[in-house]
Amino acid sequence: MTEPVFTAPAAFLARRRALHAGLSGPALLAAGEPASRNYPANRYGFRAASHFLYFVGRPMAGSALLFEGGRTTLFTHPPDPEDALWHGPRPNLEVLAAEHGFDAVLPLAELDAVLGPIRATVATLPTQDAPSAAWLSERVGRPVLARTGAHLVDSRDAALADAMIALRLTHDAAAVDQLRMAARMSAEAHVAGMRATRPEGRESDVHAAMLAVLRRHGLDDAYGPIVTVHGEVLHSDTHANVMRAGDLLLADVGGETPEGWAADITRTWPVGGRFSTTQRAIYDVVLEAQYAAIAVATPGRRYRDVHEMAKRTIVGGLVALGIFRGDVDGLLERGAAALFFPHGIGHLLGLDVHDMEDLGDRAGYAAGRTRTTRFGDRYLRLDRDLEAGMAVTIEPGFYQVPGILGDARLTAPLGADLCRDVLAQYADVRGIRIEDDVLITSDGNEVMTSGVPKLATEIEALMRG
């Protein structure tokens, strides 16, 4: 295994200083509490809130970070002897402070006393779990609701959210190292997945092979892995289907580093090791759309234009195949793209796979921009002007979703220009998506996930090997 990369304390320190510079009052960020699965002691693997991880780099359940007057203090549970028995010895508070470069590390029990004089001015951000939201409410003396970052009613909290967005929207060098590591290891998982694919095997065989690579590298899942012969179900979460020689397998799988940074990769490959003529034709349309979108994902470009570029390329490709008839502009106008590509071209990537989606569209949409209500486009999660240091996914797709192609409200505007007799020849293409992680650089971009084959011929060669 490759040695994992860890962020140096100095990088965390620099981030904390940068937040201090962006704050006009004190701020309290909570790590959150573990969620119980079926009984209190049986918990999901704890994943701390990203705003906390950004400054600390390790999940410390129940802890909180106070920014005040230029000082950063970590409040955490002091080690206790029972811990040593069940969970191993933990460093004491002085050691933690020294290792992490906090100005102080104090027991959680002292937080209220410290907050006392500044309580009315403290900003905070909710975590995902209700118990720690309730805990935050008690600390700051006003309601803080879980999962509701999208609707920050308190102006202090909104200002803190904006300060966090300003920091996290473009990635520092340490963050880029983490993202590249997640990308590289996740790419390796996709290669293993291609190699593990056999006709008459199950999706779970491939899922298991990919997971094994991530876990060997110490990576958790950044999101629920999709490994399915039914790519047309966008968020399929079962892996029980038997794979047939003529099927395409769609795998949307990405790992998360121990410090919490995500990768997000999709590849679609032929179970039998060779694309059929029809599968290859559509695959090449999606791939062309991806290349075209990546080409325009550069500093200063509006992300919505990247989305439009992908739509245009897909519709153009489908016209060339005879699936659509007419001019591309008119077809786009009439909603042609969303019939086969009903989601957005991508999203921000960082500590969260949809980075800062806990803050709703506040991070993804620039001030003054909002989502459209139009089918397809309304799922676009990002509409900012791209800047060097941002990381985004680029993930066009083609899907034959019965619920869309059978919905007259969506297909009527196309009329006979949607050539269903031609489309019928492509019945062996249920769903294709090709997704890479792209770092915007000052002179263009860098595809961080280039370690996994993408050309149809490359994929076939790998699967034959």
From the CA atom positions of the chain, what is the Rg in Å? 24
Residue 126 Cβ vs a copy of itself, minimum distance, rounded to whole Å: 11
Q: Which of 113, 116, 155, 240 binds a copy of itself (CB under 8 A)?
A: 240
Provide the 10 A C-beta neighbour count for residue 295: 14
On whether the CB atoms of residues 222 and 288 are closer than 8 A, the answer is: no
Question: How far is residue 397's CA from residue 313's CA, in Å, rounded to a whole number?
Answer: 11
Residue 408 in the binding site for a copy of itself (CB under 8 A): no
Segment interacting with a copy of itself, rule: CB under 8 A, options 6-14, 80-88, 157-165, 438-446:
80-88
Residue 435 in the binding site for a copy of itself (CB under 8 A): no
- In 329-416, the DSSP E strands lie at 391-394, 397-399
Residue 87 in the binding site for a copy of itself (CB under 8 A): yes
Question: How far is residue 350's CA from residue 54's CA, in Å, rounded to a whole number?
Answer: 10
* Three-class secondary structure of residue 276 per DSSP: coil
Count of residues touching a copy of itself (by CB under 8 A): 70
| Surface-to-core class of residue 114, CB atoms within 10 Å of its CB (0-12 exposed, 13-18 middle, 19+ buried) | middle
Residue 402 in the binding site for a copy of itself (CB under 8 A): yes
Q: Which amino acid is at 9?
A: P
260 vs 270, which CB is nearer to a copy of itself?
260
**What binding mask, one character per residue, do residues 2-21 give for a copy of itself by CB under 8 A, x or -?**
--x-----------------
Element holding 203 (H helix, E strand):
helix 203-216
Question: How far is residue 433's CA from residue 396's CA, in Å, rounded to a whole number?
Answer: 6
Q: Which of 119, 216, 280, 302 binds a copy of itself (CB under 8 A)?
A: 216
**CA distances, 427 to each of 232, 278, 316, 331, 422 (Å):** 12, 9, 20, 22, 10
65 vs 211, which CB is nearer to a copy of itself?
211
Question: How far is residue 1's CA from residue 461's CA, in Å, rounded to a whole number?
Answer: 25
Residue 446 in the binding site for a copy of itself (CB under 8 A): no
Under rule CB under 8 A, which residues in 298-337 are in contact with a copy of itself? Answer: none
Residue 99 in the binding site for a copy of itself (CB under 8 A): no
Question: How far is residue 247's CA from residue 283's CA, in Å, rounded to a whole number?
Answer: 13
Residue 437 in the binding site for a copy of itself (CB under 8 A): no
Q: What count of residues does the chain have?
A: 465
Considering Cα of 232, then 332, then 360, then 268, what sign does the dihedral take? positive
Q: Are strands 265-270 and 248-253 parallel, antiparallel or unpaired?
A: antiparallel
Show the tokens assigned to 410: 């969506």
Q: Which of 230, 307, 311, 362 binds a copy of itself (CB under 8 A)?
A: 230
Segment interacting with a copy of itself, rule: CB under 8 A, options 99-107, 295-303, 345-353, 439-447:
345-353
Under rule CB under 8 A, which residues in 134-163 are in contact with a copy of itself? Answer: 134, 146-147, 149
Residue 166 in the binding site for a copy of itself (CB under 8 A): no
Residue 42 in the binding site for a copy of itself (CB under 8 A): yes
Residue 48 Cβ vs a copy of itself, minimum distance, rounded to whole Å: 8
Q: Which of 69, 143, 224, 322 binds a copy of itself (CB under 8 A)?
A: 224
Binding site for a copy of itself (CB under 8 A): 1, 4, 35-45, 47, 49-50, 81, 84-89, 128-131, 134, 146-147, 149, 202, 204-205, 207-209, 211-218, 223-224, 230, 233-237, 239-240, 258, 260, 342, 351-354, 356-358, 401-404, 407
